[in-house]
Structure 1
Amino acid sequence: MSLSSIIYKFSLYIHTLKFLRTEQFKYRILRKLFRPVVSERISEVKTLSWVYDKGEVFNQSLLGPFKVRYLNVVADINAPTSWNNPQFEKLWLYNLHYFDDLNAVDNALRTDWHVALVQRWIAENPPVAGNGWEPYPLSLRLVNWVKWFNRTGQTDPQIIASIAQQAQALSQQLEYHILGNHLFANGKALVFVGAFLQGKEAEQWLKLGLDILNREIPEQFLADGGHFELSPMYHCILLWDLLELIQLAELAKLPQLEAVVSGWREVAVRALHWLSVMIHPDGEVSFFNDSAMGIAASPQQIFQFAADLGLSHTTQQQPLTTLTTSGYSRLQQGANTVLFDHAAVGPDYLPGHAHADTLSIEWSIGLQRVLVNSGTSIYGVSQERLRQRQTAAHNTVIVDQQDSSEVWSGFRVARRAYAQLLDGKTLEQRCMVKASHNGYQRLKGKVSHIRQVELSASELVIEDELTGQWQQAQAMFHLHPDVIVQQQGSQVRLRLPDGQQLLVVTAGTVQVAKTTWHPGFGQTVATHKVIVPFHAAKQRVCFQILQDQ
């Protein structure tokens, strides 16, 4: 490795680590020094009798007694080594340990398979070794097992003992080294177990879980309702978690839960409004930061669950809605809907799910997506994971082949862009939002990017300005795979599935290149992108909706 590479790597670490909280450093050290200890034998533990009957929203993942499908990858799990098989990615193995199928669609048809698989897990995953005993899969599995046990009339004391063992292990390795959605999941799991089992230890888990949630909910759900990691997908995950906690409070009727549930409901209402702003007209999430379909409950399932709990939210959209705290705007005119990201990459101490997508946009005409960010199909530390996080994979401007935020490794960000909302208003039959970011100020030329998005019923206009010195810059516009691109000389036309045609108008040149879209994990769909190189500091790109077909 060259000296310049060593210096650059050192810079990445310094600019990543300087944002971490003291407790993150502390708990990383403690995790290295101490291993959780669980009781080898659990004395008889009794359970409370409430039945959690809300579920059946997730797709079936257990295809047979020994066959599963996670992240669009099907595999056999017929050996004890299957639980930690190194040929599969870490996230796939985590999903194997979640046991989501216990509460998936038509789960009652697979109860015998479920009982056998739970018993297999207990026999083949001794404490506290392997992926299944790490705190995040522990948290998700505990909730799934607790919801499943009473609903299906299970009585096996071995399963109860295992739940208690797993709660012991979780309580000793809470994810304060990560924080964010991981710590929230830890708290939720301890609350579920504490409300399910009886006894002094269960009461301690309930208190510990509530202490975590009482700390994290006010921080993680922002004033405008958005989850602070600023990913629509993770917003759905955490909002669903919150709704399940509200449901638990109604079912268990424990005074500890009844004392806090009204506050949870208020947060949920704000979060529902945020979600209604951030979805496309097709009803699915937008792709900012780590987002994909099929991981969380769908927005419509979330809205229905909330309605069942008596929670309502505002659904009528205005021509311009700005989520000021989280940093997103929704523009609507006629059949057009544009979502504009003028947000931070996430909380400074937790940008793991951030993409370098500042000032990117997504656009739908009616139910048809037109401009899409590239999405997320993979985690880990591969080159493809990095590519999907980089600026060039999003509908924004890349300067001198650098990213607006220094995304690196699988979940790290060094120097990052900070955005500022400059203006936003509704004019006669059009609306406009203007914002800037300083992510390119770290470059030698001290570049700032200013973007104005203006929308009417007949056109989308993007005006970009770059201040400072730069050698080359391009505006990227990634097309949904259903959009057909036709280039004749300098003219580029787009054709939607319904025959609607759009014309790309700009003073400079326009290029068309192949790329890929990733609507779900394990999914790669071929598509195209329109690239508009900068020939001056200011550039205007107009997508005109043609009336004469």
Structure 2
Amino acid sequence: MSGNAKFRFLNEERQLRFPEDWQAPGASRLWLYNLHYFEDLCAIGSSARRAWHTQLMQRWIAENPPRRGVGWESYPLSLRIVNWIKWAMDGNPPGDELCASLATQVRYLRRRLEYHLLGNHLFSNAKALVFAGAFFSGPEAAGWFDQGMRLIDKLLGEQVLADGAHFELSPMYHALALEDLLDLINIGSACGMAVPANWRDTAPRMFDWLRAMCHPDGGIAFFNDAALGLAPTLCELKRYAADLGVPVVARGRASLPAASGYVRMEAGAAVLIADCAAIGPDYLPAHGHADSLSFELSLQSRRVLVNSGTSIYAGGPLRQAQRGTAAHNTLRLDGRDSSDVWAEFRVARRARTQLELGPDPLQGLLQASHDGYRHLSGAARHRRRWQLGLDELNIFDSVEGKGYHRVECFLHFHPDWSVRMQAADCYIVRSADAALVFELSVDPKLGWYLEEDAWYPEFGRKVTNVRLRGDYQGRLPLQFETRLTWRG
């Protein structure tokens, strides 16, 4: 190949000149990670690019000496090891040079497992060791394999909760973790290994939770760090599981929160997904948002109310805003976030959420509260009750406490919907094709304002939408109701 090449990751295309642009000055760290993952080796239609892939791997080996640059960080190193091995096992003779480089990369990784980060990073490290141990032969490879298997056994029990949720509570990272597990089952079967029973037992539970966290359009809901396009879809994962003979268990109409704290309720054409969860593991809230008691709503397979999504990990105002309470369908007090998110992946003070009622699938009833504003004067507490029927959704909010406070209520609409004020306490919401119309009734105790906003469905992508913001400034306690009605 020539010295120039175009690469597109995260909706950002760059013309690179190698070797210097393996570190691509000006690119985000996540973009560089994607460059070094080599995920295109396993993409649909990748066989047509086999010669180019071979050249690119040879260039990487020649131009990325050990210990130099982003490509040798443990996380991209882990993903690349797996992708190179998948490519080699898919009928592509790796050759001595690639095998030697792979072995060097595995040795380097083994000494730098990400115990300081834990979570999905450490699981990816362990997966890479298992893949390498299965691919190579000899005592050293057996050591890699044994170490990886011990780690997987420990981490799987820790990271998958009783209801099947990945413990970082991001639907996007959950889908990636489920793909990791299916990959492990796949390589185990391909290499004649006795696949551990808990791997096959865990996968259906993870499918249960992922299904509960998907809208009828098949895409994930946006809670914590979540975006479309980075993780495989539920449909893609089901096909993969079917190829492996792994069962997929469907959950009933209501998803009990159990360990994770997320709830799905369905009534007729309506699907509601609510966050009654903690922000994440106590020691690892890196992908958490200040989204306590937020929710998303679909009608007739169309997203209506949406959290704002995630489009960036680099620190700055946009990252802060996307993690903040105002980017989600919930309440904010005194301009403060319900959990103190800061920097790219940090959380200080955290809301503690309590499920108080339901979910009751017969009555469509759910109630929860959180104490994320306990530090404010008057020790405010937000309590929210959802009641979902065949043709309406009622949301009852109460803010307990004392003293004078500002309370804001945010409702973010998917870009495919327009919102028009009909009266001071009534709005008409219409789909882009005018096929669906519903009425939104609000409480006049709050002033209500239609505002231009942004929805971030993918990394690097921004779509204009509207939000409705309620604003109250006065004394607590405060109670108000919001009602959406439609034709069932």
Aligned pairs for 1:116-515 within 5 A: 116-254=55-193, 258=194, 260-315=195-250, 317-318=252-253, 320-426=254-360, 430-469=363-402, 470-490=404-424, 491-499=426-434, 500-508=436-444, 509-515=447-453
Instruction: After TM superposition, give the deviation of residue 498 of structure 1 in Å.
Output: 4.4
1:377·1:518 contact (CA, 8 Å) conserved in 2? yes
Aligned to 1:519: 457
Q: 1:108 aligns with which of 37, 44, 47?
A: 47
2:16·2:24 contact (CA, 8 Å) conserved in 1? no
1:462·1:541 contact (CA, 8 Å) conserved in 2? yes
Instruction: After TM superposition, give the deviation of residue 65 of structure 1 in Å.
Output: 7.3
Q: 2:30 corresponds to which letter in structure 1?
A: L
Helix, strand or coil at the partner of 1:486: strand
Instruction: After TM superposition, give the deviation of residue 546 of structure 1 in Å.
Output: 5.2
1:542 aligns with 2:483: yes
Aligned to 1:31: none
Which structure 2 segments of 5+ residues have no match? none
Aligned to 1:531: 469
1:448·1:467 contact (CA, 8 Å) conserved in 2? yes
Quick one: structure 1 residues 425 and 347, their matched pair in 2 at CA, closer, same or farther if it must change by over 3 Å?
Answer: closer
Larger relative strand fraction: 2
1:485·1:493 contact (CA, 8 Å) conserved in 2? yes
Which structure 1 segments of 5+ residues have no match? 1-61
Question: For the residues of structure 1 that align with 2:251 and 2:378, how far apart are their CA atoms?
Answer: 44
Q: 2:212 corresponds to which letter in structure 1?
A: V
Aligned to 2:11: 72
Instruction: After TM superposition, give the deviation of residue 427 of structure 1 in Å.
Output: 6.9
Question: For the residues of structure 1 that align with 2:257 and 2:379, how far apart are their CA atoms?
Answer: 29
Q: With the length of structure 1 as denominator, give the TM-score of the two structures.
A: 0.85
Instruction: After TM superposition, give the deviation of residue 368 of structure 1 in Å.
Output: 0.5
Question: For the residues of structure 2 that align with 1:464 and 1:386, how far apart are their CA atoms?
Answer: 25
2:168·2:281 contact (CA, 8 Å) conserved in 1? yes
Q: 1:382 corresponds to which letter in structure 2?
A: G
Quick check: 300-309 or 369-378, which moved more? 300-309
Deviation >4 Å, runs of 4+: none
1:476-530, Cα deviation, whole Å (9 max, x unpaired):
0100000111124413110023422111112213211111000000000000001
Quick one: structure 1 residues 436 and 155, their matched pair in 2 at CA, closer, same or farther if it must change by over 3 Å?
Answer: closer
1:65·1:113 contact (CA, 8 Å) conserved in 2? no
Instruction: After TM superposition, give the deviation of residue 445 of structure 1 in Å.
Output: 2.5
Quick one: structure 1 residues 261 and 140, their matched pair in 2 at CA, closer, same or farther if it must change by over 3 Å?
Answer: same
Quick one: structure 1 residues 427 and 220, their matched pair in 2 at CA, closer, same or farther if it must change by over 3 Å?
Answer: closer
Instruction: After TM superposition, give the deviation of residue 118 of structure 1 in Å.
Output: 0.2
Quick one: structure 1 residues 185 and 482, their matched pair in 2 at CA, closer, same or farther if it must change by over 3 Å?
Answer: same
Q: 1:541 corresponds to which letter in structure 2?
A: T
Question: For the residues of structure 2 that align with 1:159 and 1:110, how far apart are their CA atoms?
Answer: 17
Quick check: 438-447 or 406-415, which moved more? 438-447
Question: For the residues of structure 2 that align with 1:314 and 1:107, how far apart are their CA atoms?
Answer: 31
Question: For the residues of structure 2 that align with 1:142 and 1:305, how far apart are their CA atoms?
Answer: 21
Question: For the residues of structure 2 that align with 1:355 and 1:316, how far apart are their CA atoms?
Answer: 26
Helix, strand or coil at the partner of 2:101: helix
1:225·1:267 contact (CA, 8 Å) conserved in 2? yes
Instruction: After TM superposition, give the deviation of residue 323 of structure 1 in Å.
Output: 2.3
Instruction: After TM superposition, give the deviation of residue 75 of structure 1 in Å.
Output: 1.1
1:345·1:417 contact (CA, 8 Å) conserved in 2? yes
Helix, strand or coil at the partner of 2:451: strand
1:48-75, Cα deviation, whole Å (9 max, x unpaired):
xxxxxxxxxxxxxx9x972111001111
Q: 1:435 corresponds to which letter in structure 2?
A: A
Question: For the residues of structure 2 that align with 1:370 and 1:514, how far apart are their CA atoms?
Answer: 16
2:241·2:248 contact (CA, 8 Å) conserved in 1? no
Q: 2:155 corresponds to which letter in structure 1?
A: E
Instruction: After TM superposition, give the deviation of residue 192 of structure 1 in Å.
Output: 0.2
1:249·1:261 contact (CA, 8 Å) conserved in 2? no
Instruction: After TM superposition, give the deviation of residue 172 of structure 1 in Å.
Output: 0.6
Quick one: structure 1 residues 518 and 155, their matched pair in 2 at CA, closer, same or farther if it must change by over 3 Å?
Answer: closer
Instruction: After TM superposition, give the deviation of residue 314 of structure 1 in Å.
Output: 3.1
Q: 2:486 corresponds to which letter in structure 1?
A: I
Quick check: 119-128 or 502-511, which moved more? 502-511
Quick one: structure 1 residues 141 and 471, their matched pair in 2 at CA, closer, same or farther if it must change by over 3 Å?
Answer: same
Q: 1:128 corresponds to which letter in structure 2?
A: R
Question: For the residues of structure 2 that align with 1:190 and 1:137, how far apart are their CA atoms?
Answer: 14
Once superposed, what is the RMSD of the aligned Cα atoms? 1.7
Q: With the length of structure 2 as denominator, give the TM-score of the two structures.
A: 0.96
1:348-392, Cα deviation, whole Å (9 max, x unpaired):
100000000010000000111000000000002121011000000
1:371-428, Cα deviation, whole Å (9 max, x unpaired):
0000000002121011000000000000000000000000000001111100014376
Question: For the residues of structure 2 that align with 1:494 and 1:380, how far apart are their CA atoms?
Answer: 35
